[in-house]
Amino acid sequence: MAAECDSGNCDAWAARDPSGILSPYKFNRRSVQSEDVSLKITHCGICYADVAWTRNMLNNSMYPLVPGHEIVGVVTEVGADVKGFKVGDHVGVGTYVNSCRDCENCNSSLENHCSKFVFTFNGVDTDGTVTKGGYSSHIVVHERYCFKIPDGYPLAKAAPLLCAGITVYTPMMRHNMNQAGKSLGVIGLGGLGHMAVKFGKAFGLKVTVFSTSESKREEAINLLGADNFVISSDENQMESQKSSLHFIIDTSSGDHPFDPYLSLLKVGGVMVLLSFSSEIKVHPANLNLAARSISGSVTGGTKSTQEMLNFCAANKIYPDIEMIKINYVNEALQRLVDRDVRFRFVIDIVNSF
């Protein structure tokens, strides 16, 4: 194995092996190229992806691994040909930092579906380097993958929008969920689920939260403004919701049956999966007889990411966060695994290095 130099222009915390334990680490970011933006990172949200890759759950982790793809900060340098940003701008970087920029998907601003899409961390960039994420003091990124945080929007609260926010917003727009008066079911009330409730209410939807835990009722109704709360393991409660929903967003990370939820959709209703269950098993009648569909989604394109950020600012939609310093990150990742977070951890990067 090559000797670890552990020096460079960027301070970070990295996992060194599949234990996933993070510790201080230094490495070099590239210098700013003509279309690049460099930002001093102020905050980085903690996503479940950070757990999955630091712990090698997908068997493709490249160590040392610096996670983090809910990045916000302040522009400190721009390349000569950068058009959209200037020094001092508040900006964000999400789940990818590169794509081919010339395929059907890139040309439709669906960069997240480009076959050459490069993850913000644990990805291999076009120059061959392994990308490193936002648990670090700065990042250099091509301006296409950088977004403007609207004036006045708190940077700490903007961080979770770059993954959790856009992951929920994208399928809501694709399936025209922004129709006031229609009804939305949200399964799971973590980082994604709480954003689904907030967007749902902003769109004027009647929102029902499904959870296995009665302890979430108070948060769902009083804190997030959901209209209805259902314990998904209670058959009577589920039965009472039959054919009542136009849309369902499933953010539940664990394996669970799909038929009980599909039967809650009206004719033509759609259920969107945002998580990665090990298997989907449904009875065809639950789809066919009411012309229902199941759909998937992952993050979002650059155009809709900017649109989502602007929408959140205009409608005063703010994720609920718990702010931590980087030296608490190992505890925070374990608490995320234990579902002990309300609703997103955000690392106060600027005061951590």
Reference 222, options 189, 253, 250; nearest CA is 189
Residue number, 47 or 347, with CB nearest to Zn ion = 47
Inter-residue contact 41 to 90 (CB < 8 Å): no
Nearer to Zn ion, 205 or 272 (CB): 272
Q: Does 47 bind Zn ion (CB under 5 A)?
A: yes
**Least Cβ distance, residue 302 to Zn ion (angstroms):** 11
**How remote is the C-alpha of 156 from its chain's centroid?**
15
Of residues 10, 66, 93, 106, which one binds Zn ion by CB under 5 A? Answer: 106
Q: How far is the CB of 163 from Zn ion (least distance, A)?
A: 3
- The string of DSSP codes covering 125-145 is -TTSPBP--SSBSEEEEEGGG
Stretch that binds Zn ion, among 108-116, 193-201, 242-250, 314-322 (CB under 5 A): 108-116
Closest approach of Zn ion to the CB of residue 308, in Å = 14
Residue length of the chain: 353
Residue 308: how many CA atoms within 13 Å on its side-chain side?
A: 33
The number of residues that bind Zn ion (CB under 5 A) is 8
Looking at beta carbons only, is 269 or 301 nearer to Zn ion? 301
CB of 53 to Zn ion, least distance (A): 10
49 touches Zn ion (CB under 5 A) = yes
**One residue of 114, 159, 166, 294 binding Zn ion per CB under 5 A:** 114
- Shortest distance (Å) from residue 121 CB to Zn ion: 10
Q: Which residues contact 2 (CB under 8 A, 6 or more apart)?
A: none
Q: Does 65 bind Zn ion (CB under 5 A)?
A: no
User: Which CB, 244 or 277, lies closer to Zn ion?
Assistant: 277
- Residue 291 tokens read as 């012309």
In DSSP terms, 75 is beta-bridged to: 39
Scanning residues 71 to 100, which ones bind Zn ion (CB under 5 A)? 99-100
CB of 165 to Zn ion, least distance (A): 10
Is 44 a binding residue for Zn ion by CB under 5 A? The answer is no
Place of tokens 């490495």: 27
Q: Please give the DSSP secondary-structure letter assigned to residue 47.
A: -
Residue placing its CB nearer to Zn ion in the complex, 69 or 246? 69
Six token digits for residue 24: 């201080």
CA atoms within 13 A on the CB side of 270: 14
User: What SS3 state is found at 344?
Assistant: strand
Decide: is 173 part of the binding site for Zn ion (CB under 5 A). no
Tell me which residue of 261, 257, 266 sits closest to 292, measured CA to CA. 266
**Minimum CB–partner distance for residue 21 and Zn ion (Å):** 20
Q: Is 163 in the site for Zn ion (CB under 5 A)?
A: yes
Q: Is 103 in the site for Zn ion (CB under 5 A)?
A: yes
What would you report as the CA-atom Rg of the chain, rounded to the nearest whole angstrom?
A: 20
The CA distance from 80 to 345, in Å, is 35
For Zn ion, the binding residues (CB under 5 A) are: 47, 49, 99-100, 103, 106, 114, 163
